[in-house]
Structure 1
Amino acid sequence: MPGTPLYDSIGGTYTLTRRTEPRIAARIWAALGDARTVVNVGAGTGSYEPPDRDVIAVEPSALMRAQRPAGAAPCVAASAEDLPFEDGSFDAAMAVSTVHHWRDPIAGLREMRRVARRVVVFTFDGGDAQWRQRFWLIRDYLPEVAGLLAGKPPLAELARAIGARTEPVPIPWDCADGFFEAYWRRPEAYLDERVRRGLSAWTAVGPEAERRAVRDLRADLDSGRWAERNRDLLSLDAAELGLRLLIA
């Protein structure tokens, strides 16, 4: 099934660092509007599923499905590009931090549009060169991440595919969900193997790039160079690092 190999290999410790960030969840849930029935596409372990609505999850990885907590929404083994539901089956379809993993993001978004009257997607603007320069981890330590996005449709194309508007989502400095940009003011977190294993990008760039990035970051933290380079971040409560909501 498309989308399964990566998370079937790296997803075993996912729940250690990946969880719902309440401030981002509030934005996602507000965007769902008055929807009572929701399909969560690429649902993973169930983060950000609204507790007060009727949710069906879709997740291709057996390992991720196995980590869904007791009492979580029922979960169907399927891919975004081929949702096993009739047209208009749901009030809303949501997808969180998953579109960039899909074999065909445009097809997946159109499937969401087909099965629901409203679509809400939490993703990032990876085609924005400023995003790559603004986030120090990519700029100074792991430039290979930019290459992982080669050939992926840009955010504007994703939005056009479903007639969506975009809204920026600032990342709080103490973000509870350990996604790739979450530790922008807590750089020492990226030295933690458990944190890195919850992030697909570290596996995707390969062990050599990972070892180099960790080595260089550790040296810059020890010497104070990281703090000198990024002093403007240290007083911020939230940072704009390219995360976006698509709402259609």
Structure 2
Amino acid sequence: MADVQYDRIGIDYAALRKPDPRIASAIYAALGSAETIINVGAGTGSYEPNDRQVTAIEPSSAMIHQRARSSAPVIQGYAEQLPFDDNSFDAAMAILTVHHWADKAAGLHELRRVTRGPIVLLTFDPAQRPWLTDYLPALATLDDVRMPAMADYQHWLGPVTVTTVPVPHDCTDGFLYAYWRRPTAYLDPALRAGSSSFWAIEDAEERLGLLAQDLESGEWARRYADLLTLDAYDAGYRLVVSG
């Protein structure tokens, strides 16, 4: 766990990954009335409720340094080794982070150990194939390798509820599939820097040249015309809630 990926690639995350209020609303509703919350893989503090007592755990110093002064207190550490007693928190949250954990089962068992109430995870269903994978098939392979299957969460946490989190067409959070109705965004290296997946695909620039051609010719708009009528899209993001 010494190699912390986001120490290398997370330099601009605070600017690129601004919480979307509609997604935040779903997360806060799932947290219920919890007053003390642990946020694991907390990054720059996105989606941390500011009206609760939040304790953040984050391994990357680059991410920690981008946290606002007003954000929750943070401890540099890992999901697999949480420095807290059993049942220390009313609830836990982990937002688009589980796929980065070295030992996902151990990390989720730790969340269950230190939490006496709900565990709220925003994650991605690798069975989904958003349109971007047509241009970057390596994304689908990457998702299959890194992302737990939905059935894994019940195996690790016990009974869970899984809810689709539609992505608004004007989503303010620059995660991987956030720009589903704004395809030109994927041609901008600065915006792509907000997603770790692009850093793992060696031929991303070359493959995205095909997208640029299809956007210029109008082929993309013809192929995905149905998307242009949608205000929100099921890109595969799921809210998994345990307890």
**2:238 equivalent in structure 1:** 244
**1:182 equivalent in structure 2:** 178
**2:123 equivalent in structure 1:** 123
Which runs of 5 or more residues in structure 1 are unaligned?
Answer: none
- State percent identity of aligned pairs: 51
Shift of 1:152: 5.0
Q: 1:148-159 alignment to 2 at 5 Å?
A: 148=142, 149-150=144-145, 152-159=147-154
Shift of 1:214: 2.1
State yes or no: 1:194 paired with 2:193: no
Amino acid at match of 2:59: P
Shift of 1:216: 1.0
Amino acid at match of 2:24: A
Q: CA 1:174–1:151 in 2, change beyond 3 Å: closer, same or farther? A: closer
Distance in 2, Cα, partners of 1:172 & 1:69 = 25
With the length of structure 2 as denominator, give the TM-score of the two structures.
0.95
Which runs of 5 or more residues in structure 2 are unaligned?
Answer: none
SS in 2 for 1:234: helix
Corresponding pairs, count: 239
Amino acid at match of 2:122: F
Amino acid at match of 1:108: G
Shift of 1:241: 1.6
**1:26 equivalent in structure 2:** 25
Distance in 1, Cα, partners of 2:39 & 2:180 = 27
The answer as to whether partners of 1:18 and 1:178 remain within 8 angstroms in 2 is yes
Q: CA 1:190–1:158 in 2, change beyond 3 Å: closer, same or farther? A: same
**1:219 equivalent in structure 2:** 213
Distance in 1, Cα, partners of 2:232 & 2:53 = 32
Shift of 1:160: 2.7
Amino acid at match of 1:44: G
SS in 2 for 1:93: strand
With the length of structure 1 as denominator, give the TM-score of the two structures.
0.93
SS in 2 for 1:88: coil
Regions of 4+ moved over 3 Å: none
Distance in 1, Cα, partners of 2:211 & 2:154 = 35
Amino acid at match of 1:121: L
Shift of 1:79: 0.5
Distance in 2, Cα, partners of 1:99 & 1:34 = 24
Shift of 1:74: 0.5
**2:168 equivalent in structure 1:** 172
Distance in 2, Cα, partners of 1:65 & 1:46 = 9
